[in-house]
Amino acid sequence: MSTTDLPTLLLPLLLAGISPAQTEAPQAPGGAPPKILAMPDGMRVVLLERPTAGLACLATFTAAGRACQAPGEEGITAVLARESLTGTTGLGGPGWAEEKRLQVERERLLLAALKARLEGRSLGEEEKRRLAETTDRLDRLTAPRAWPARLEEEGGCGLRTGSGPRGFSLAAALPAERAGRWFAFEAARLRAPALRTLLDTSRRSRRAEGVQWRRDPRRRALAALLQLAFRRHPLRDWLSPPPPGPIRWTRARRFWRREVRPRRTVIALVGSWPEELGPICRALFQPAPDARPPALEPPSEPPQEGARREETLPGDPPGAWLGWRIPPGTDPAVLLVLADLLGNPRAGYLSAFLARDMGSLSRAEVLAPFPCPGEPALFVIGAAPRPGGKGLQAARTVIGHLSSWRPREGETTRARHRVVAALRRRRASPLDLALGLARAEAAGEGARAWLELPRRVAAVAGEEVEKLAATLFQESRLNRVVTGPSGEE
C-alpha cells in the first residue's frame, strides 16, 4: 500500500472510537482459532493455521505512524517501509563501522549540495569530488537490496512493503520449514536497521507527496474537516503536505530508536508452521541489554463536542464534505452496514437518489468508517453539485434527505451480504490475511476481533442500523467543509 493510495489518505477520517466486544474465539477458515504469543521483549506473534500448500505467509506491522512523528519527521514512515528492504547492519555490507562513517559523510555533502542549489550556486569542485568518491565507495561496499536477494535464495516470494498513517509493514511468503528465517531477519532489523538509501528515497517521496497535495482538492477538504471536528487528534495533520527536502539519515535512526519499539510490533503467520517456532521466537526476541523502559504515552485530549462548525475553501471545485462525530462505543459492524446502505455505488440510498433526481447533486459518496479503538472518528459524506450549482446547496440537499431516511424492508439484509462478501474478498489471499491480522493486533483492535468481523456484520439487525442513524445524524455532531468559489448563497 502506497502513501498515495486513496484509502490510506482517508484513513484518519475513518477511525471509529470503539473497542469491539469480545465473544467466543473466532474460527479460522481451516477451523483453528488464532494463537497470540507474547515475546519476552513485548513483541507479539499471531499464528493462524490454514492450508497453504506448505507455505508460511508472514507479515510484520509496526504501529509507529503519524502520531509518533515530531515536526520535521513528516512522511518518515512511508520511507522506512521501503528502507526495510535494504537489510540490517549485519546484512548487506561487510563492515558497519566504515559504512556508517561513509553514510554520515555522504549525507553531509548531499545536504550541502541541496543548500547550494537552493541558493542558486554550484557545489565546490573539491566537495563534488569527495561526494563522488564517497558514493562510489558506498556502492562497492554495500548491497542495498540484500534482504530481497536473501529471501529469493530461501525460496520466498511476494515480498511487499506498505505504509499508512498508523505505521508500516513488510510481508512475504516462505516455505513453511524456513519461516524461522523471517523471524531471525526481523529480530535483527528491528534492533539494527541499515537505512542505506534513506536520503534519496525520502527526497523523492516528499516531492511526490507535495505534488499530490497541490493536485488533490479532496485531500485538502478532508484535512480541513478533520481540523474542524476535533481539537486534538493523533492523526489530524497527517493529510497535510510534508515539508520539502529529504529526511536526514541521523534523524531517521533517532526516530527508529525512539518509536520502533517491540510492544508496537506484531508478526503474523498464516499457513503451516512448525511446533518449534515458538521457542525459536522467544530466543530471538529477548529484551536488549541496554533497553530503557518505555516512556509513558501522553494522555489524549477528548474529542471536541458542541455546536456545528463549518469552513469554506473558495479555491477548489464546488462541493461539500460532511462529517458527523461517531459516538464512542459504536459497533463497527453496524457502521459498515450503515455506510453500505447509504453509499453503495450501485444499490445505496444516495446513488438511487441521484438516479431518480434531476436536481442539485451530481455525485455523492460515503467513506465507510474503519474500526480502531481509542480514537475519535468521523462518518463522512462527500457531495458535488450539478454544473452551475454551489457546494452549500449540495450540503443542504444531503442533510435534508438524511433527516428522513430509514432503511426499507430487505435493504439491511442485502447490505449485510454485500459487506460480508467485501470483507471476505479482502481476506481471501493468505498474505492479505496475515497483513490484516498483524495490523489489527498492533493497532489495538485485536487479531481475534478483526477475524470475527464478518460474522458480526452478518448478525446486524435493521433496528440497530436505525438506532445508530438516529443518534449519528444530529446537528450537534455535524461539521462541514464547503468548497468552491462561492460558499454563500
Q: What angle do CA 216, 432, 332 make, to 5 degrees?
A: 70
The residue type at 453: L
Spatial neighbors of 464 by CB under 8 A, at least 6 apart, are 331, 334
Cell of 344: 453503495
* φ, ψ for residue 410, nearest 5 deg: 90, -20
Q: What share of the chain is helix, strand, coil (3-state, %, to 5)?
A: 45, 15, 35
CATH 3.30.830.10 maps onto the chain at 26-216+232-284, 309-483
Residue in the block written with cell 538509501: 197
Q: What pLDDT score was predicted for residue 10?
A: 40
The Cα 145–Cα 444 span in angstroms is 32
Is CATH 3.30.830.10 what the domain over 309-483 is classified as, yes or no?
yes
- Which amino acid, residue 125? E
User: Model's pTM, two decimal places?
Assistant: 0.84
**Runs of H (alpha helix) within 362-446:** 391-403, 411-426, 430-443
Contact 271, 47 (CB under 8 A): no
The stretches of 155-197 forming alpha helices (DSSP H) are 179-191
Distance of CA 277 to the CA centre of its chain: 29
218-242 as b/e: b if 16+ CB within 10 A: bbbbbbbbbbbbbeebbbbbbbebb
The residue length of the chain stands at 489
What whole-number distance in Å separates Cα of residue 439 and Cα of residue 447? 8
Give the whole-angstrom CA distance, residue 19 versus residue 30: 26
Residue located via cell numbers 457502521: 335
pLDDT of the residue at 359: 62
76 Cβ contact list (under 8 Å, min separation 6): 69, 202, 247, 252, 255
Q: What is the pLDDT along the chain (489 residues), one digit of tens a residue?
A: 333 333 333 433 343 333 333 333 444 444 578 899 999 989 999 999 887 778 899 999 999 887 788 877 878 888 888 888 888 888 777 778 888 888 888 888 888 888 888 788 888 888 889 988 988 888 887 777 788 888 898 899 989 998 887 889 999 999 988 888 999 999 988 888 888 887 778 877 877 777 777 788 888 888 888 888 877 666 666 667 777 778 888 888 888 888 888 889 999 999 988 778 888 888 889 887 655 555 444 444 444 544 458 888 887 888 889 999 888 888 889 999 999 999 888 888 887 777 666 566 777 788 766 546 667 788 899 888 888 888 888 888 888 888 778 888 789 999 999 999 999 998 888 999 999 999 999 988 889 989 999 999 999 999 999 999 999 998 888 889 998 875 444
Which CATH number fits the domain 26-216+232-284, given the four candidates 3.40.630.30, 3.30.830.10, 3.40.190.10, 3.30.379.10? 3.30.830.10
Residue with cell 495490523: 439
Distance separating alpha carbons of residues 34 and 11, to the nearest angstrom: 26
Nearest to 193 by CA among 90, 50, 311: 90
Question: How far is it, in rounded angstroms, from Cα 218 to Cα 9?
Answer: 10
Instruction: Give the pLDDT score at 136.
Output: 87
Query: What pLDDT does residue 286 have?
Result: 87
313, 224 Cβ separation under 8 angstroms: yes
The reported pLDDT for the residue numbered 30 is 45
Question: Taking the alpha carbons of 173, 148, 84, 293 in that order, is the dihedral positive or negative?
Answer: positive
For residue 145, count CB atoms less than 10 angstroms from its CB and return exposed for 0-12, middle for 13-18, buried for 19 or more. Answer: middle
454: its cell numbers: 464478518
